[in-house]
Chains A and B, each alone.
Chain A
Amino acid sequence: MRRLIEIWPDSGRDEFALVIDRRRRHRVLIVPPLLAEMNRMRRLVATTMRALDVHGIDSFAPDLPGTNESAAPLFSQSLHTWRTAMERAARHFTATHVLAVRGGALIFPNVLPGWVLEPVSGAAILRQMVRARVVAARERGDHEDSATLIETGRTEGLMLSGYDLGPGLIAGLETARPLDEGQRQIHQSELGGAALWLRAEPGDDPAQAVRLADIIAGGISA
């Protein structure tokens, strides 16, 4: 059986996942990067899944509630709700391994063996998004400063790069550290080519996806 989009149950609501499932032994849950970085890396994730399929490995990339196709409100999400959702997805898809990408390392089920690709702190993600807002304000001739914005965000939430982030998520990001516990860290230099999460326009790099899938397949068969 092979289906591309599958529904999985989160608390009280269905969510979607991109899925390549042939009921095989090795099943990798892919926990995506957060927010803006997720858009930039969506194609890399999908291409990696196809490359894993060639290696005989099933994979699952669930939407984080409140993002992508999800009907849940983003504003009510927090790192905790995302963590819980990823645990549920891991159980639903009976994942045997996990690949967390960038900010995905803040919310992935770290009881599974697997890999963490260039993990990033919550503070770094937040700082970049707040900075984008400060720069945009300056272009309009307005003034906003990061410290005040974050303080407001902590109590009222904050609109950043078109994402309506609630106070829970802002507060969580401020202190969150990657959760990897024995998972193998993969560095961008191992994939060759430029980091796609830096790319202003979402891009693709099939060669990187093939290398990433090779590392995962090599780790599983080792």
Chain B
Amino acid sequence: MMENCLDIGTIQAFVDGELDHGQSARVSAHAAICNACSLMLAEADDQSALVFSALDREFNTLVPTQRLWNKINDSIVTERESRPFWQKAYAFLTVALVNPSFAAAASLLIVIGIFSALWINRTPDTANITRTDLPNTQPVQQISPATLSATRDSSAVPDNESTATPAPTYRVERAAFRPEPRRIVSQPAAITASVTNSTGYMPGEESYVKTISSLAKTVEEQKDGGIMRPSERIAYERDMAVVNDSIVKMRQEVKRNPRNESAKQVLYSSYQNKIDLLNSVTQKEDLLVSLK
């Protein structure tokens, strides 16, 4: 027996499906390598099967248990928390606009807002700008470059003339400025390719991972739907733990030595096994549905 063997409470909770996903995975992984615990697991499974068969009629009456309600409520809370902000806002508006008073008030607010925006951002009158100069300012003279250079070179212009001229006062007007829309420039292909390479997958591995990912989603829904008996569930989790363990070890080995063809072969074989294992659940589900 190993030091960190499972206690009977944990095993029973595992058989009853009361552990969360992480704990279940840990129990499965441990049971896969510990004979004593797998024996205890099998015994607990047998006992559960006996009890389940005796209570089969009660279990099949479709009366949701308290545990089920807790699960439902938990999943509702989780779903609410994980919902993005825009969905919440959309839901709020959808519900709120049903109320006529709210709709009227919202419309009023929108009208006021639009009116205010138009008023504040109205286009400035260019003619008015030129005439807003104060009366004592000099009219602007067009100076040619030649005149300008001559003026610079000439020292005949008395200094007191410029100093005597009163400094013009200017009124600051809001400029009608609109930023140019940002142009999105597509990244060069080389950069994209380097990102793809940086995912760390070996050639061909990504397709396995994607297939497994999509299958796993389906299977996670199906296996909690009563398709598997406790004994089948244990066997499934055990086999999954074996395959996952193999994948992890082989990936480490391939990462350490990318030229190790044998490790790659075992890794791909393990991926294929995982796909087969996941497929076995969907295949069974399909068969049972076709028999209904």
A binds B: no
Contact surface of B with A, Cβ cutoff 8 Å: none
